[in-house]
Amino acid sequence: GAVVSQHPSWVICKSGTSVKIECRSLDFQATTMFWYRQFPKQSLMLMATSNEGSKATYEQGVEKDKFLINHASLTLSTLTVTSAHPEDSSFYICSASGWGLADLSEQFFGPGTRLTVL
Amino acid sequence: GQSLEQPSEVTAVEGAIVQINCTYQTSGFYGLSWYQQHDGGAPTFLSYNALDGLEETGRFSSFLSRSDSYGYLLLQELQMKDSASYFCAVRDLGANNLFFGTGTRLTVIP
């Protein structure tokens, strides 16, 4: 149990376009989802936290108008990178916690999405 | 804020034991977790210490000393497949966020 999926697993886009990444909890209700970004050979940096039905809380330095997060249901959160630029190229990972888990606070990670902006 | 420091790289021989340290500065946290991440993959949970002391899970053990702001992950009977990056992480008291350490890349050699 506790499976989190992400789609797509990788995406290549042109500079200036927008890209949507989906994160789904497959066997539990994700009351909270987290979005991380990881540059090569670096650590995971939390971008934002979203609770179902509420606006996301963004970490300092993360532009909320550029990284749009929607968590409209208990099984789906989306991250849209708007007007993507090459510096947005990174590995984006979501995680989820919530009802149906033995530990409500434990986070389960998706497989990640590799974004390359040309 | 949260700050977790780890050695950037460690190399060890197959079959040996390796310890990966994590020193931290936090404003308060529930406990120290450890994650493994292979290249291009997602982090996978290894171990969690809520209290001081040693937690053992198979070949992996983790230790926490809150008084020393220090923890470590111990990997025994190293296998080639253990080559990966290892991250310590703390769960923030307020928002249940995970803050990750700088990460240690472990290379296991024959």
pLDDT tens digit string along A5-30? 999 999 999 999 999 999 999 988 88
Distance CA B14, CA B28 (A): 37
User: Is the predicted pLDDT of residue A95 greater than 70, yes or no?
Assistant: yes
**pLDDT value at residue B28:** 75
Report, as an integer, the average pLDDT of B76-91: 95
User: Is the predicted pLDDT of residue A45 greater than 70, yes or no?
Assistant: yes
**pLDDT value at residue B82:** 97
pLDDT band at A100 (very low <50, low <70, confident <90, very high): low
Name every residue whose Cβ is closer than 8 Å to that of residue A62 and which is 6 or more positions away in sequence.
A47, A48
Mutation test of the interface with chain A: which of B96, B104, B106, B107, choosing the one with the most A Cβ atoms within 10 A?
Answer: B96
User: Is the predicted pLDDT of residue B1 greater than 80, yes or no?
Assistant: no
The chain A residues in contact with chain B (CB within 8 A) are 32, 34, 41-46, 49, 57, 91, 93, 95, 97, 105-112, 114
**Residue from the list A34, A42, A93 with its beta carbon closest to the beta carbon of B42:** A93
Report, as an integer, the average pLDDT of B68-78: 96
Higher per-residue pLDDT: A63 or A99: A63
Answer yes or no: are the C-beta atoms of A48 and A35 closer than 8 Å: yes
Both tokens of A50, joined, read 């979203």
**pLDDT value at residue B15:** 97
Give the CA-trace dihedral at B70, B75, B80, B81, to 10 degrees: -80
Mean pLDDT, rounded, of chain A? 91
**pLDDT value at residue A110:** 95
pLDDT band at B83 (very low <50, low <70, confident <90, very high): very high
**pLDDT value at residue A99:** 67
- For residue B86, the 8-state DSSP code is E
pLDDT band at A52 (very low <50, low <70, confident <90, very high): confident
Both tokens of B91, joined, read 């769960």
Report, as an integer, the average pLDDT of B91-101: 79
- Give the torsion sign (CA, B33, B61, A3, B79): positive
Q: B13-69: per-residue pLDDT in tens?
A: 999 999 999 999 987 777 899 999 999 899 998 998 989 999 998 999 999 999 999
Higher per-residue pLDDT: B109 or B57: B109
Q: Distance, in angstroms, between A16 CA and closest chain B CA?
A: 25
What are all long-range contacts of B56-60, with beta carbons under 8 Å and residues at least 24 apart? Answer: B60/B34
**pLDDT value at residue A101:** 65
Which ranges constitute the DSSP H helices of chain B? none
Q: Is B70 buried (19+), middle (13-18) or exposed (0-12) by CB count in 10 A?
A: middle
User: Is the predicted pLDDT of residue B76 greater than 70, yes or no?
Assistant: yes
Name every residue whose Cβ is closer than 8 Å to that of residue B107 and which is 6 or more positions away in sequence.
B9, B10, B11, B12, B83
Minimum Cα–Cα distance from B5: chain A residue: A43
